[in-house]
Structure 1
Amino acid sequence: MSRRQLRNFRWNGTQWATVTRSPYGELEPKLSTTIQEDSIQTVYETIRIATFNILADCFPWFIKMVIRSDERFEWLCIGITNLNPTIIGLNEVTTTSLEQLQRCSFIRENYFLTESLDERQFDGNTESNGCINGLLSNHGCVILSKFPLLEVFAISVSGSNREAVAVKVQLNSKIENCVYFCAQHTTAYQTPENAQLRAQQISDIVNVLQPLGHPFVLMGDLNLHYNFEDSVVINNGFIDAWAQTHFSRIYPFNDENQGYTFDVVKNNLIPYYIPGEYRQMRLDRILFSCGFPAFAIKPCALWANEPIKSGNYLFPSDHFGLFIDIVTDIINDSKAFIPMGESDPSAEDILFMNAQNNKNQRAYRLGLIRTIEAYVSHMAWLGAFALGLK
């Protein structure tokens, strides 16, 4: 698969300026802008990696009415501020949500971005003319990083116009600790054909990143609907952050929490967004390549998993996000930790059993009666909601 180089962007106090690397390896923004050295941190005691499918807003009006994107995107800025990730991969970003993110003061003060709105000045008025890197054709992936971005590129994948986005960063002061982070959003829907396509798309990413000679993290809504799709973890030699820190036999990484990121039982938005839906799935993943130079100090956790307002059905997305805290060096041996560059045998056994359990490869369908019941109920709710009764 092909890759194309991208620009990255940093707020300079006035605008989101393109950042380039000089021949001397220093970060230099274009457009005669300056970045204060003390605003760029390159060493972290704890590194927080996060991923989140934010749910796009490019839908027909009756879906937009339900998912209330203005409220969700306003929460997104608050959510990222509270989570305070070192690096985060976002899926289903549109120009609307990107504009909201770029206006957020916390994001302006702390992050490099892999995409920016193309703003042209006309008689003092700012008009948006798409995005500079062209990643958000309808919607796409964007990475926010507190680490300076040493390299940024997009990777094309089989059967999709949506590109994955990869960045190279230096985890700490040691130059040998350069790694790649890649945000990917694979093809959705639970069919055997799409499961094969997703496996190929993930393989496409690995085939680009592996030859570069540095460890990497693949994160995002990988849409692994079937249990047997854990085979992509096994076949590519990944360490699954959730499995590693919940399915181990080592305390406290042994609670066996299933970590559903798409969970109709707990996420009240899903039934209104997808009438009749009843599944619980671990669609979103953070996957470490073998040899990644870090240790988890806490189990991987969910975030964006509470309603925006108490007592209301609206959640930040139909997905929950994931985050994990890692360190590159263990200083205090008394604290619990687990390596992220070497698969835990117990966790790997569970993933292997899932991968082998491939008898059920039927496409997901609701069934006629359930579909009719779900949509009749949903239409009644929509009518009541439109009239302000809900």
Structure 2
Amino acid sequence: MVKVATINILFDLKEWTQRRELLVEGLAAENADLIALQEVVKLPEDTGAWLAEKLDMPYLYLAPKVNDEGTALSEGIAILSRYPFVKQEMLALKGQNRVAQYVQVVVDGQPLVLCNGHYYWYPGSHRDRDIQVQQVLDWLGQLPPELPVVAVGDFNGTPETSAIALMRQQFTSAYAAHHGQEPVYTCPTPLVRRNWKKVLWHTLRQLRFNHTLRPWRGTLDYIFVNHHLRVKNCQLILNQPASNSRTLYPSDHFGIMADLYILH
């Protein structure tokens, strides 16, 4: 069995010193074998490397965003692992400098691929996000068909959007498989209430795209598995505030973890 987790850790470092302790506490409690991170930053602090060290996860693969000139940017995504990487690859996606990555590891003698991505942001369905998801599906389709594959990340699309429908054509959502439906929401957490500028931004976004002042929340984060894996358990994680503050959360997203059986 293998335990996988995913969490968008938020690139904004304004309260990083407080949030990072909550991230370590929550992730350490899960004791995952592989952790996928989105919105990792390199400067002024390498957040992915810091978490890897604190969680005693010796293998780290950082995939920075890449601009149109091919230059690596300071933000990206990362995979932390307790297992050495047999293979690691990165894919530049079309639009918003997005990237995807995957690693191949061996768990109890069985190969496993974990793909991590952070996809095109826009409320509702969007053609560019669909293109990115199809890019990743085609990319993973080049792998040997007998490989167990887990595809995770912040898809920036709610369950009814076309990009998630594309994923479901080839993969199964671990959370929906275990619970019969997706979470009510994974984003935003009450962390956004700590910053009036973010509150204003979310309010104006709701007014522009959904013509309402009611605060938006929805599910954007997923763990998808192919038919070589069976879900034993899947839960939201990092979904509790600090003991001394109702609004201080590890991130503006909840995380997801899954215990998975690799089918022989």
Counterpart of 1:260 (choices 163, 167, 185) is: 185
Q: Take 1:261 and 1:269, find their aligned partners in 2: how far apart are those partners?
A: 12
1:98 aligned onto 2:32:
no
2:66 matched residue in structure 1? none
1:76 aligned onto 2:12:
no
Q: Take 1:303 and 1:191, find their aligned partners in 2: how far apart are those partners?
A: 25
Q: Take 1:115 and 1:141, find their aligned partners in 2: how far apart are those partners?
A: 6
Among all aligned residue pairs of Structure 1 and Structure 2, give the percentage whose two residues are the same amino acid.
Answer: 27
SS in 2 for 1:260: coil
CA distance 1:136–1:269, change in 2 (3 Å): farther
> TM-score scaled to structure 2, two decimals?
0.81
Q: Deviations over 1:243-266 (max 9, x none)?
A: 11111xxxxxxxx56341115xxx
Counterpart of 2:246 (choices 271, 288, 312) is: 312
2:209 matched residue in structure 1? none
1:270 matched residue in structure 2? 192
1:196 aligned onto 2:132:
no
1:279 matched residue in structure 2? 216
Contact 1:186 1:223 in 2 (8 A): yes
1:25 matched residue in structure 2? none
SS in 1 for 2:123: coil
Contact 1:268 1:313 in 2 (8 A): yes
Contact 1:48 1:86 in 2 (8 A): yes
1:243 matched residue in structure 2? 176
Residue 54 of structure 1 and its aligned partner are, at CA, apart by: 0.3
2:9 matched residue in structure 1? 54
SS in 2 for 1:324: strand
Residue 296 of structure 1 aligns with an amino acid whose one-letter code is V
1:147 matched residue in structure 2? 83
Larger Rg over CA atoms? 1
SS in 1 for 2:114: strand
SS in 1 for 2:19: helix
2:114 matched residue in structure 1? 181
Q: Take 1:303 and 1:257, find their aligned partners in 2: how far apart are those partners?
A: 14
1:205 aligned onto 2:136:
yes
Q: Take 1:92 and 1:224, find their aligned partners in 2: how far apart are those partners?
A: 16
Counterpart of 2:62 (choices 94, 115, 130) is: 115
Q: Deviations over 1:4-24 (max 9, x none)?
A: xxxxxxxxxxxxxxxxxxxxx
Within a 5 Å distance, the mapping from 1:7-26 to structure 2 comes to none
Contact 1:262 1:283 in 2 (8 A): yes
Residue 311 of structure 1 and its aligned partner are, at CA, apart by: 3.4
Larger proportion of strand: 2
> Matched residue pairs, number?
237
Contact 1:190 1:226 in 2 (8 A): no
Counterpart of 1:296 (choices 231, 240, 244) is: 231
Contact 1:189 1:223 in 2 (8 A): yes
Which structure carries more relative contact order (alpha carbon 8 Å, separation 6+)? 2
Gaps of 5+ in 1: 1-45, 59-63, 117-133, 248-255, 331-390
SS in 2 for 1:212: coil
Residue 186 of structure 1 and its aligned partner are, at CA, apart by: 0.4
Give the aligned CA root-mean-square deviation in angstroms: 2.5
Residue 80 of structure 1 and its aligned partner are, at CA, apart by: 2.1
> Relative to structure 2, which stretch is displaced further, 225-234 or 137-146?
225-234
Residue 85 of structure 1 and its aligned partner are, at CA, apart by: 0.5
Residue 102 of structure 1 and its aligned partner are, at CA, apart by: 4.6
Residue 314 of structure 1 aligns with an amino acid whose one-letter code is L
1:172 aligned onto 2:108:
yes
Residue 167 of structure 1 aligns with an amino acid whose one-letter code is V
Gaps of 5+ in 2: 64-69, 207-214
SS in 1 for 2:95: coil
SS in 2 for 1:158: coil
1:87 aligned onto 2:34:
yes
CA distance 1:83–1:148, change in 2 (3 Å): same
Residue 129 of structure 2 aligns with an amino acid whose one-letter code is R
CA distance 1:99–1:240, change in 2 (3 Å): closer
Residue 271 of structure 1 aligns with an amino acid whose one-letter code is R
